[in-house]
Chain A
Amino acid sequence: RKLRCGTERAGGRGLDHPGYPGAGFWLGVEWDNPERGKHDGSHEGTVYFKCRHPTGGSFIRPNKVNFGVDFLTALKNRYVLEDGPEEDGKEQIVTIGNRTVQTVGFDSVIKRQSQLNKLEDISLRNCAVNGAGDKGGIARACPHIRKVDLSRNLLSSWDDVIDIADQLKDLEVLNLSENKLEFPSCSTSLIGTFSALKVLVLNRTGITWAEVLRCAPGWPVLEELYLGSNNICISERPVDVLQTVKLLDLSSNQLIDENQLFLIAYLPRLEQLILSNIGISSIHFPDAGIGCKTSLFPSLQYLVVNDNQISQWSFINELDKLQSLDTLSCVRNPLTAGSKDSQTTRQFIIARIGQLKTLDRCQILPEERRGAELDYRKAFGNEWKKAGGHQNPDKNRPNEEFLAAHPRYQFLCQKYGAPEDGELKTQQPFILKNQLLTLKIRYPDQLDQKVLEKQLPDSMTIQKVKGLLSRLLKVPVSQLLLSYESPKMPGREIELENDQQSLQFYSVENGDSLLVRW
């Protein structure tokens, strides 16, 4: 039996044992929170009961515990105000700061909510519900309930849940999170109990995959199943069960790995898969080669892989193999964390997954896709060429390694054309060093003068060059005549006659020679 002590919940285990020192009736409990207790069920050598955790157990006096109430009582406690005329003569006055709070219309709210048979959407979270209570009671009082939040209660087994659900024929949404439930050990065949159930939330219930599959035949129209934080290990393929499920939430189950995912890959209607925080770092679809589509996860449209260990681009490449994927959330992974290059990372993800329409909750507009694909093509152009790529389709044979790392690259070259060499030249940063021309200075009329090498900015005017040379050679400026020749044009000498123009104007380039005469 489950019970509540203070704010913590526990499972009541063995009952009294006369040998326990301290007279009277003690209750042995195993806490839901494994660190709450003092021992593992044994005291001074005697084992009174067994616990899963060395500090999971305690002995407590029965008067300190609350065994909870049944569903109907909890419902009435919450929604019906039992107000006798003798109880509170005055309306309770509440204050915030030093101001009174005026409530509007609470009486009518109370009146309306008291009509239990009208209730459709209720929450009994943390209300110490321990079971269904009298048989048929719920069905008589509130049969129209469609959504129930029974999280954080004292339900101890799946049978308790069935007792409640049996009486709620219209039940569509059921939240049982944070109830440590005991599940049946063999497959149960139930007819009609969960006939309308579309959404089932079992986060933090300790359920195992095998138990899910055992209970699943009772959920014929289930569309959304939430199994977060249960330490689940997917052990077998669901056969004939869970076939209607559209959304599966497996977040925070750290024992799941990529191989287990293959076991759920054939669910025909699975559209949304949430795999946040499971520690996954890689994925591989073996049935599809580079550029082909896999037959796994045929209906999967929305994949969430936030808070994982994804650090390789190969993961993203594999996602392109999914047939129906159009929405991806991939934040807080080593690959995408770090805001320095986040724009580039986003672009690369877009470029690598061709049919992606929404990334990280931002729609990808056609212009963004175009820009991303062009930039991706340019960014890896040099690598492509080194790997054997070529603008000429006959000579284009990039090696296997490149194709595996960039499966969409060839397709992008076909779509936009192969990258030109001009595009691939890496931009030199605009620092002065890069703008300097290294020039040789020769004196054709004075053969005994040494050839100098100087670095001059290309924006320097001829007048200033002459000034520099004049100081060097001790020759007056007016007597200098400058021209230059280039190894690119052998034998040709170009005169630099206009003093106001710059070296750049005359297309003087790096490695050219200035010829000085006077």
Chain B
Amino acid sequence: MILFGVNLLSSTFPLISYVPLTRECLSIHIGQAGIQIGDACWELYCLEHGIQPDGGVLDSKKDQLENANVEHMDASFDTFFCETRAGKYVPRALFMDLEPTVVDGIRTGKYRSLFHPEQLVSGKEDAANNYARGHYSVGSEIIDLVLERIRKLAKQCSGLQGFLIFRSFGGGTGSGFTSLLMEQLSIEYSRKTKLEFSVYPAPRISTAVVEPYNSILTTHSTIEHSDCSFMVDNEAIFDICHRKLGVERPSYASINRLIGQAVSSITASLRFKGPLNVDLIEFQTNLVPYPRIHFPMTTFAPIISADKAYHEELSVSDITAACFEFSNQLVKCDPRLGKYMACCLLYRGDVVPKDVNAAIAAMKSRNSVRFVDWCPTGFKVGINNQPPVAMPGGDLAKVQRAVCMLSNTTAIVEAWARLDHKFDLMYAKRAFLHWYIREGMEEGEFSEAREDLAALEKDYEEVGQSF
């Protein structure tokens, strides 16, 4: 059995006088949404790094790797993968769910040899779309096991930066267990960053009636433990797949692949050596003006159907302009109704600084881009030359360049307002509440959570106000 290995850099190349400091990131995938997005992400990472389904590296990539080690100080590859003694690469990831079916999908799927069995944790009884079960009854039984596994993964890291947590707001495990886990992580790893990738409940496509309850409860309990939470919503992505990619009825596979591309763009600077030496702290510092205002909106461009490969040529200017289009957003809200507090443009692929400057100069005249008065710096722009990779057989065409924009805009309060409204409708009648009370929750927690979200809405309103 492959055991967790040790970073072999220092012993393989004794000529280097110092050990490069790797800043590792642990990805934790919780619940069905988290796991399935994780599946898409790691598949994409493997394609980008040339890692085979069994953990081995493609030959041409190995040369690249060796050159990288000799030449350059930052071994960024190691931030996401751990090299074993046998020369295989194991992802620094943990997949957990309260019921076994989804995790079994990974255990029997294409990448089953990539992960160590201890990285795939499953319980027996699921959370049944119930925050209380995920947090209190069923979740509490498995939390110790999960923390122990995380400890093991953290031990192999020489300089753990932080955690990337993938989960949904609406599910039972994704909402309940995540808040439980985040509380514990804050205690045990207090100085480590925690970034979230959360699936927000779609406005019009609902998979469970109690999604608003779960979402509000988890946001309330997680908000002080999370440093930054990138939200995506299924409906926005559904529309993108349908309109731009010509997919008649987008499946979760299509949606997850698109999310995977966005996540890959966001983490590219962490995984590839490059000029944009961003670590997780930098994201925080640049995007989050107040601890509670940490929900940036993600936009991704270009989105071209694989059938139209080479028919549309998108220059840097085109993709930059596309970032400000409603249709490229991964969350449904109207940024024209709000103000920007911070904005990051992450380019990847064949992008030259000249083109970026020209593209941004062309954006100057856009008066729809309004900033808050109190924030002096506006945009932060970076380039990573690693080209975007398209999944073979996927819906997206291979492109030479792509951009991911992370913007902290006050317009996202619209998403919270929607959710709060739905919560209120049900809570006014105390509908479905008994499912939560039965698992040991109190009504007080609901009203407390709702008040917290009302305060969050007010906070957004306040930061958007002029002096």
Contact = CB atoms under 8 A, between A and B. Distances in A.
A431 interface: no
Given A109-B275, A175-B310, A96 B369 contact: yes
B89 to A, nearest CB: 23
B400 interface: yes
A153 interface: no
A122 B352 CA distance: 10
B316 to A, nearest CB: 10
B56 interface: no
B84 to A, nearest CB: 29
A276 B311 CA distance: 12
A499 interface: no
B400 A149 contact: yes
Interface stretch (B45-53, B217-225, B381-389, B408-416): B381-389
Given A103-B356, A228-B311, A329 B246 contact: yes
Given A360-B246, A362-B251, A123 B385 contact: no
Contact of A78 (B246, B278, B352, B364): B352
A112 interface: yes
Contacts of B421: none
Contacts of A78: 352, 354
Contact of B383 (A96, A102, A109): A109
B352 A113 contact: yes
A198 B135 CA distance: 54
Contact of B370 (A97, A306, A346): A97
A102 B246 contact: no
A266 to B, nearest CB: 24
B307 interface: yes
B318 to A, nearest CB: 11
A92 B352 CA distance: 15
Interface in B291-313: 307, 309-311, 313
Chain A: interface size category: 35 or more
Contacts of A331: 246, 248
Interface string B94-134: 00000000000000000000000000000000000000000
A20 B253 CA distance: 66
Interface in B427-464: none
A177 interface: yes
A151 interface: yes
A87 B375 CA distance: 32
B189 interface: no
A421 interface: no
Nearest to A151: B313
A223 B85 CA distance: 39
Contacts of B370: 97
Contacts of B369: 96-97
A102 B377 contact: yes
Contacts of B309: 226, 249
A121 interface: yes
B249 to A, nearest CB: 5
Given A103-B356, A125-B313, A363-B251, A112 B377 contact: no
| Residue picked from A123, A177, A306, most chain B C-beta under 10 Å | A123
B371 interface: yes
A346 B248 contact: yes
Nearest to B377: A102
Given A105-B277, A361-B245, A100 B377 contact: yes
| Residue picked from A92, A105, A121, A122, most chain B C-beta under 10 Å | A105
B435 to A, nearest CB: 30
A96 B379 contact: yes
Contacts of A195: none
B357 interface: yes
Given A203-B310, A346-B248, A361-B247, A102 B379 contact: yes
Interface string B259-295: 0000000000000001111100000000000000000
A110 interface: yes
Nearest to B324: A96
B123 to A, nearest CB: 28
A94 B383 contact: no
Chain B: interface size category: 35 or more
B183 interface: no
A86 B352 CA distance: 22
B248 A361 contact: yes
Interface string A118-141: 000111011000000000000000
Contacts of A96: 360, 363-364, 366, 369, 378-379
A449 to B, nearest CB: 60
Contact of B353 (A103, A226, A276): A103
Interface in B330-360: 349-350, 352-354, 356-357, 360
B315 interface: yes
Given A109-B385, A306-B307, A94 B248 contact: no
Contacts of A125: 313, 315
| Residue picked from A121, A226, A346, most chain B C-beta under 10 Å | A121
Contact of A360 (B248, B315, B357, B376): B248
A109 B307 CA distance: 32
Contacts of A149: 313, 400
A434 B255 CA distance: 46
A63 interface: no
Interface string B382-418: 1101010000000100001100000000000000000
Contact of B381 (A102, A249, A346): A102
Contact of B313 (A97, A177, A228): A177
Given A96-B369, A274-B307, A306-B307, A106 B245 contact: no
A90 interface: no
B387 A203 contact: no
A167 interface: no
B155 interface: no
A428 interface: no
A304 B248 contact: no
| Residue picked from A79, A106, A329, most chain B C-beta under 10 Å | A106
Interface string B210-231: 0000000000000000000000
A175 to B, nearest CB: 7
Contacts of B313: 125, 149, 151-152, 177
A474 interface: no
A101 B379 CA distance: 5
B354 to A, nearest CB: 7
A483 B244 CA distance: 68
A100 B352 contact: no
Contacts of A274: 307
Given A106-B353, A360-B246, A112 B310 contact: no
Contacts of A362: 247-251
B378 A113 contact: no
Contacts of B361: 94
A359 B246 CA distance: 11
Interface string A141-169: 00000010101100000000000000000
B275 A112 contact: yes
A306 B246 CA distance: 10
A97 B371 CA distance: 8
A97 B366 contact: yes
Contact of A203 (B247, B311, B349, B367): B311
| Residue picked from A97, A126, A149, A201, most chain B C-beta under 10 Å | A97
A507 B376 CA distance: 83
Nearest to A329: B307
B254 interface: yes
A186 interface: no
A177 B310 contact: yes
A110 B385 CA distance: 11
5 nearest A-B pairs in the assembled complex, by CB-CB distance: A99-B378, A105-B275, A108-B275, A360-B248, A361-B247
25 contacts: A81-B354, A92-B357, A96-B378, A99-B376, A100-B379, A102-B377, A103-B357, A104-B276, A104-B382, A105-B382, A108-B275, A112-B385, A113-B385, A121-B350, A123-B400, A125-B315, A152-B313, A177-B313, A201-B310, A228-B311, A276-B307, A329-B246, A361-B254, A362-B247, A362-B248
